[in-house]
Amino acid sequence: MIRLPVVKQQVLPAEINRRIGRAMHTYGMLAHGDRVLVAVSGGADSLALAWVLSHWRRKAPIDYDLQAVHVDMEPCGGRPGAAAREIIGIMERAAIPVRVLPASWQPPPEAAGESRDVCFRCSRSRRNQLFRFARDHGFNRLALGHHRDDIIETFFLNLTCAGNISTMRPCQKLFSGRLAVIRPFSYLDKTEVEAICRRLGLVPVRTRCPLSGQTRRSEVHEMLREIYARIPGAKQHIFAALGNVRTEYLLGPVEHHADNP
C-alpha cells in the first residue's frame, strides 16, 4: 500500500518551493475562494500536483476548494478500470476527493497503426470533458501538471507541425474568464517533478495508450534532448524567449502609406 508521508516542508526543497510560489504569484493562479479542479491522469506530474495543491492549501493565507478528477480511458462494465481504481486509492489516502469520468472517446484498437493525429483527437476529447465537468460543477480553476519541458515541447510541436508560434500559458483564461487553466509547475523541469513524486513515495499509475512512445511529442522530446546536450543553457534560453517575443521581427504584412501604394 502507498502511504503518503507526514507533510513536512523538506518534502519540497526550498528552491523548488520558491519556484512554484513564484509561478503562482507571477501569473495570479490562485485567489481566496477559488474552486480548483486538478486533473489527475496517474502520471508523476499530476500526482505530484494534486499533493502540492493540497499541501499549499494547508499553509497558504488563502482558502480554496480542491477536488481531483480522472478521465478513465479503460472503464470496465460501468465500473472504474484498474488504473482509475489505483488513482482513487491514492487520492483517498491524500484526503483529496476525486471523481472518475468514463472517457467519452477512446482510441480504436487499430490506432497504433493509424495516423498519429489520433493523439490530438484523444487529448482534445479529454480536455473538453474536463471543461464540461468544471462548468457543470462550478469550478473556476482547472489545474494541470504541465511543467517547463511540456511548455517548450508544445512550442516546437506548434512550430513544426501546426505552422504557428504558440505554446501553453502558465495561466490561461477561457470562456470569457469563467475558467482559468493553471500550471503551477511551469518553472520546474520534468526531472524535478519526478523527484517530488519519489520523495512522497508515489508510484505513477500506468494507463492505456496505443501510441505510447510513438507520438510527435516523443520525437520532439528526443530532438530537444540532443539540443540541450549540444548547447549549454539552451533550455533556459528557449524558455526565456517564450516571454520575450519581438513581434516587430516576425513576418507580417507590410503597412502601405496612402501616398505610397
Grid cell listed for 250: 516576425
- C-beta atoms surrounding 254 within 10 Å: 4
DSSP 8-state symbol, 173: E
> 123-180, pLDDT tens digit by residue?
889 999 999 999 999 999 999 999 999 999 999 999 999 999 999 999 999 999 999 9
d(CA 192, CA 226): 19
pTM of the prediction?
0.89
Domain annotation covers residue 257? no
Domain annotation covers residue 249? no
**Confidence (pLDDT) at 206:** 85
Domain annotation covers residue 1? no
What CATH code is carried by the domain that includes residue 237?
3.40.50.620
- Number of folded domains that form the chain: 1
Pick 162 or 210 by higher pLDDT.
Answer: 162
Domain annotation covers residue 251? no
Domain annotation covers residue 109? yes
Alpha helices for the chain (secondary structure H):
14-26, 44-59, 82-93, 117-136, 148-157, 190-200, 216-230, 234-241
**For residue 208, is it left (φ>0), alpha (ψ between -120 and 50) or beta?**
beta
pLDDT band at 116 (very low <50, low <70, confident <90, very high): low
d(CA 87, CA 77): 18
Domain annotation covers residue 45? yes
Amino acid at 151: I
On the question of pLDDT at 8 being above 50, the answer is no
Domain annotation covers residue 253? no
Domain annotation covers residue 261? no
Where in the sequence is the domain holding 71, given as residue range(s)?
Answer: 9-244
